[in-house]
Amino acid sequence: MEKSKENVLVAGANGTTGKQVVSYLKESQYFNPIAMVRKEEQQEQFKIQDIDTVLGALEKELSHVVKGVDKVIFAAGSGGHTGPEKTTAVDQEGAKSLINAAKNAGVKKFVMLSSINADNPESSTTLRHYLEAKRNADNYLKKSGLVYTIVRPGTLKNETGTRKIEAAIDVEPGEITRDDVAYTLVHVLNDDVAQNAVFEMIEGDERIEDAIKQMF
């Protein structure tokens, strides 16, 4: 008897990384993606691929988006170049709201896309507020009682991934492809991978699966 797939909500599904996450989930034999988007016109690109969608805005009530959801990937973000108010609303408070909704719905695992240096916002003058928002959201998740994995990649680039990374609790700043980040976010959804763990990652020499397994 075939095991039914787990429903995975992807917050930020319309973003560059989010779209790749949805694509990897769609290819997976274990997961069924549910793309969370803000606007109706953003649904069509997913519907033509036979991918489930749900309308929801992180700044608004979110209980409906987690109905029937087994796990969550938070890949949303205002980006480091929006104003402080938007960053706080999306990256911090929006994340907290979705964490609350996920907990109330009995979600089994919450995977957070964070950022390298989220524990050290003072490391960057230009991104300090952004990193503070990420740190606050990460800390909220850790204290939520949900099973979690927090992934903190270096500077994102749009090239094809290599499936090889350097991963540790703390790594030197560097770059990594969105492709490899998306693949990693899907990999850590598995129940036996990086439970209640936080790690940073940049491009490197070890296979993603091996690098994460060796850490935990």
Residue-wise pLDDT tens digits, 51-93: 999 999 999 999 999 999 999 999 998 765 668 899 999 999 9
24, 30, 130, 140: which one is catalytic?
A: 130
Share of the chain above pLDDT 70, in %: 97
Residue range 100-113: mean pLDDT, rounded: 98
Name all contacts of 44-47 with Cβ < 8 Å and 24+ positions apart.
Answer: 46/13, 46/22
pLDDT of 1 higher than 50? no
Amino acid present at 182: A
Task: Kindly indicate the confidence band of residue 216, based on its pLDDT and cuts at 50, 70 and 90.
Answer: confident
The reported pLDDT for the residue numbered 55 is 98
| Domain layout of the chain by residue ranges | 6-215
The reported pLDDT for the residue numbered 78 is 77
164 and 149 Cβ atoms separated by less than 8 Å: no
The reported pLDDT for the residue numbered 2 is 42
Active site residue 30: no
Q: What is the 3-state secondary structure (H, E, C) of the chain?
A: CCCCCEEEEEECCCCHHHHHHHHHHHHCCCEEEEEEECCHHHCHHHHCCCCEEEECCCCCCCHHHHCCCCEEEECCCCCCCCCHHHHHHHHHHHHHHHHHHHHHCCCCEEEEECCCCCCCHHHCCCCHHHHHHHHHHHHHHHCCCCCEEEEEECEEECCCCCCEEEEECCCCCCEEEHHHHHHHHHHCCCCCCCCCEEEEEEECCEEHHHHHHHHC
What's the number of CA atoms in the CB half-sphere (13 Å) around residue 182?
29
The least confident of 51-55, 103-107, 202-206, 212-216 is 212-216
Q: What is the mean pLDDT of the chain?
A: 95
CA distance 92 to 121: 14
> Residue 155's closest CA among 183, 136, 180, 129?
180
Task: Kindly indicate the confidence band of residue 3, based on its pLDDT and cuts at 50, 70 and 90.
Answer: low
Is the overall model pTM greater than 0.75, yes or no?
A: yes
Residue-wise pLDDT tens digits, 202-211: 999 999 999 9
Residue-wise pLDDT tens digits, 172-195: 999 999 999 999 999 999 999 999
CATH topology of domain 6-215: Rossmann fold (3.40.50)
Residue-wise pLDDT tens digits, 153-176: 999 999 999 999 999 999 999 999
The reported pLDDT for the residue numbered 214 is 94
CA distance 130 to 126: 9
> Residue 178's closest CA among 21, 9, 8?
21
